[in-house]
Amino acid sequence: MFRCVADALERKAKVKRLATAPRAIAIAATVLAAAALAAPAGAAADTVTISGRAYSFNHMSTYLEGAVIKVREIPGLSATTDANGDYTLEVPDDTNVTPYIDPPDGWNEIDLQTFHTRGEDIENANFQTPADLEYTALAAILSVPIDEQTGRPSQCVIVTTASARNVRGVDYETFRDRTPHGVPGATSTESPALDGPIYFNENVIPDPSKTETSEDGGIIWKVVPAGTYRIETTSPDTRFASFLVTCKDGRIVNANPPWGAYELAGDEQPLGASIVAASVTGTDVRRAGGQRKVTVTVDAGEATRVNAVLRKNGKRIGHERVDIGAGTKKVKVAVRRKAGKGTATLSVRLRDAAKERVESDRRVVLPRR
C-alpha cells in the first residue's frame, strides 16, 4: 500500500515539472480519463481501520499499555496499545475480522465479536479486559469449567452488554461518564440455540435467578461449544443490533459496548460491520452439455442464506436460494435454456440468522447454449 502511495506522489511530481509542455498535459489527461473509466463506480478503499481502547474490566480508568491487538483471521497483523490503552489497526476491507488482545501480565486474553468490514472504519472497538482477580472470581461464581493446563475455559465463554444508545458515537471519557450504560428488561437468544444466558445484576455480578438484564446490562453464556453464533437481543421497548461470535475452546468473547448488543434508536439500522459476516468473492460462467451455469463463490463467517437471481433485459433467467454454513461455498445458478447469449446481471442477497441483509450485483457474460 505505502509503495503505491509513493509511486503516485512521484507521478504527480513529474506531471508538475512538465506543466509547461502542452503535449505532456494532453497525454496525462488522456491517461487519467482512461483510468477513471476503468475504475468501478463507487470503488472502495482496500483497507479500513479498527480502533479503540483496552481497559481493565470493572476499572474503566485503568488503561492497558503495551497490549498487543491481533486478528484471528490474519496471523501476523498486530498493533500495540499506547499509554492510554488506545490502538489503531489497519485491516482489509470486505472481510471477516475477529480482533483479540494479548494483554500485559496480570490480565487475560479476550476476543471481540466478529466484524465484517464494509468500507467504513470501526471505531470504539474497546477491550474490557479482566484482571486475574476478577477472572478467577467470575469463573468461580459461574462454575466455569477450566482447563487445568491452560487456565482457560474448557470450552468458550460469551459476554455482552445490552447497552444504551447514548454511549455509541462518543469519546471514551463520555462513554465512561455515562456508565452504567445498560438497558434493563432485555433478553438474548442465539442461533444456533444454546442453553440460555445468565444476566448480571445491578452489582455487576452474574445472577442465575435473573430472567432479564438489569441496569448493568451484562449477559453471559458460560459454556459454549466451538462454532459461530448470531446473538439477538430484544425487549418490549427497545431494539438492539445483533452480533456474531466465533467460538473456539479456551476463548472468552466479550462483545462489549458500544458494540455487541447496542441499542437502535427510532428507525435506525444496525451498522454494516455488525451484520451478515459474508461476501461474494467471485463469479464464473460455465457451459457443459448444452447447460449453462453461473457459479457464485461466497466466503461466509456464519450460517448464511444466499438468494441469487440472474436477469437479462429485465427478465429473470435463473434463480437459486440455498442456506450455507461458515466457510467458502459455491452456489450454482442454472441459466434458462431460452435465454440468449450476452450480458446479464446477477443479484446476490446474503441474509444472516437475524434476517439482516446485504445485496450486491455482478455483471456476467453468457455464452451461447
Whose CA is closest to 230, among 299, 293, 298, 158?
158
Q: C-alpha cell of 224?
A: 459454549
DSSP character at residue 262:
B
Q: Is 4 strand, coil or helix?
A: helix
Summarised one tens digit per residue, pLDDT across range 195-220 is 989 999 998 889 999 999 999 999 99
Q: What pLDDT is attached to residue 42?
A: 39
Q: Is 325 strand, coil or helix?
A: coil
Domain residues for 270? 47-274
Say yes or no: 262 and 303 in one domain. no
Say yes or no: 119 and 256 in one domain. yes
In degrees and rounded to multiples of 5, residue 368 shows phi and psi of -65, 150
Which domain CATH number covers 344?
2.60.40.2360
Judged against a pLDDT cut of 70, whether residue 35 lies above it is answered with no
C-alpha 169/C-alpha 121 separation (Å) is 12
Domain count of the chain? 3
Say yes or no: 118 and 262 in one domain. yes
C-alpha 20/C-alpha 42 separation (Å) is 33
Give the global pTM: 0.85
Q: C-alpha cell of 19?
A: 506543466
Summarised one tens digit per residue, pLDDT across range 325-362 is 999 999 999 999 999 999 999 999 999 999 999 999 99
- Percent of the chain residues past pLDDT 90, beyond the cut: 82
Say yes or no: 72 and 213 in one domain. yes
Find where cell 505532456 sits. Answer: 24
Judged against a pLDDT cut of 90, whether residue 44 lies above it is answered with no
Say yes or no: 246 and 310 in one domain. no
Say yes or no: 70 and 139 in one domain. yes
Q: What pLDDT is attached to residue 66?
A: 98
Q: What pLDDT is attached to residue 303?
A: 98
Task: Give the domain-ending residue among 248, 274, 300.
Answer: 274
Rounded average pLDDT over 299-314: 97
C-alpha 306/C-alpha 166 separation (Å) is 35
Say yes or no: 260 and 353 in one domain. no
Say yes or no: 248 and 214 in one domain. yes
CB 233 within 8 A of CB 186: yes
CB 206 within 8 A of CB 138: yes
Say yes or no: 55 and 151 in one domain. yes
Which domain CATH number covers 269?
2.60.40.1120
Rounded average pLDDT over 95-119: 97
Whose CA is closest to 223, among 162, 180, 159?
159
Q: What pLDDT is attached to residue 45?
A: 63
Task: Give the domain-ending residue among 254, 274, 294.
Answer: 274
Judged against a pLDDT cut of 50, whether residue 32 lies above it is answered with no
Say yes or no: 212 and 156 in one domain. yes
Say yes or no: 189 and 173 in one domain. yes
**What's the mean per-residue pLDDT of the chain?**
89
Task: Give the domain-ending residue among 250, 274, 298.
Answer: 274
How confident is residue 11, by pLDDT bands cut at 50, 70 and 90? very low
Say yes or no: 153 and 179 in one domain. yes
Q: Is 215 strand, coil or helix?
A: coil
Rounded average pLDDT over 274-300: 95
Pairing of strands 252-255, 156-161: parallel
Q: What pLDDT is attached to residue 1?
A: 37
Q: Residue 61 contacts by C-beta under 8 Å, 6 or more apart in sequence?
A: 55, 176
C-alpha 13/C-alpha 7 separation (Å) is 10
Judged against a pLDDT cut of 80, whether residue 46 lies above it is answered with yes
Could you write out the DSSP letters of every residue in 46-66? Answer: SEEEEEEEEEETTEEEEE-TT
